[in-house]
Amino acid sequence: MKRVALTTAISAAMLAGSVQAATIYEGNGLKYDLKGDLQVQLRQKIGDNQDQDLEFDDLELKNRVTYDLNDGMSAFAQLDYSFDKRANDQSADSQDGGKLEEAYLGLKFDNIALRVGKQNYSTDEFSVEKAYETVVEDDIFDLNDDAGDDVIRVDAQFDNLFVSLSTDLKAEGNADSDGTKSTDLFVSTDLGNVGLMAAYQNYQEMGSDSVSSWGVGVTFDAGFARFGADYGSMEDTADVYNLVASFPVAETTTVAVGVQNRDEDAGDDITGWYANATYKFPEQKAVSVFGEIGDTDADNTDPGYLVGMRIVF
């Protein structure tokens, strides 16, 4: 599930590290933060005669260590471990009980951060989608991988311009590498109440030809509501678009509605919709409950729904 990112304010927060993290230790130039994302939901998937089940969507713990160096420089390391697949299916992952999501080291120079290791591609920042669960497709880049084990990534924040560039090394001949190669670029900016974004990817799986994808998106804050749209295309494969609107119906409650479409060059053209509501407890905004419904125009498909609870720190 893709998070709804994409203003430079959020991008700047990403450069700085975990926003809501709990600081476990701070002293002598060292800071250790722990961030958690725990979500459980009762869900009936979109499809034909789907049964209800209890899903653990996010069960993640993110550890981040930061050392202050000098002259505006710092060193950092991140270790992100997820337990949701293991919790949903006892046979899904290794016997240690979880899955390593991210593991990287980096250096930050003022507004520029370099990080190396297992992590998301730069194009993973692209999307306006606000669904709890994907209905058709989050964005065009989700047709390929959105992360790798051999990734070098640079993020830079310049006033209201955010730029991210990453490359996943092919590592041919290394038995521990999946052989995937990818170069990704993401750019976003804010112009008053309007946010603009663009992304490009050149992706190659081992033994296959490379394929290029691009995407553009826009967001608009009208005060009473926020609107977003993105469109992406992958050569000789498919086009994907997202439309979304979110409305604060109370100080504690937000409603979002969206439309997703995937038009494949092979002929399939699927459109889906979703609507959700999120309530954040006023005493603790990090605790929320939510519900969502959705459907597609695919044949033999029944609507799906979910209700759940989430705690982050």
- Determine if residue 84 is left, alpha or beta; phi over 0 gives left, psi from -120 to 50 gives alpha, anything else beta: alpha
Residue 117, domain extent: 8-312
Determine the Cα–Cα distance for residues 235 and 224; give it in Å rounded to an integer: 38
Q: Specify if 2 maps to a domain.
A: no
Task: Kindly state the helix (H) or strand (E) to which residue 8 belongs, with its residue range.
Answer: helix 8-16
CATH assignment of the domain containing 193? 2.40.160.10
Position 18 scores a pLDDT of: 42
- Comparing C-alpha atoms, which of 202, 198, 199 is closest to residue 211? 202
Q: Specify if 1 maps to a domain.
A: no
**pLDDT tens across 235-245, in order?**
999 999 999 99
Q: Which residues contact 115 (CB under 8 A, 6 or more apart)?
A: 76, 78, 104, 105, 106, 152, 153, 154, 155
What does each C-alpha distance from 134 to 108, 117, 189, 245 come to in angstroms?
34, 27, 26, 16
Determine the Cα–Cα distance for residues 161 and 153; give it in Å rounded to an integer: 17
CA 50 to chain centre: 26
Determine the Cα–Cα distance for residues 101 and 78; give it in Å rounded to an integer: 10
Q: How many domains does the chain have?
A: 1
**pLDDT tens across 6-45, in order?**
444 444 444 444 456 799 999 999 999 999 999 999 999 9
Q: Specify if 142 maps to a domain.
A: yes
Position 70 scores a pLDDT of: 87
Position 91 scores a pLDDT of: 59
Q: Specify if 186 maps to a domain.
A: yes
**pLDDT tens across 66-111, in order?**
999 988 899 999 999 998 776 666 555 445 456 899 999 999 999 9
Q: Specify if 235 maps to a domain.
A: yes
pLDDT mean over 282-296: 97
**pLDDT tens across 261-272, in order?**
999 998 899 999
**Locus of tokens 């006033």:** 159
Determine the Cα–Cα distance for residues 40 and 223; give it in Å rounded to an integer: 31
Q: Specify if 302 maps to a domain.
A: yes
Q: Specify if 3 maps to a domain.
A: no
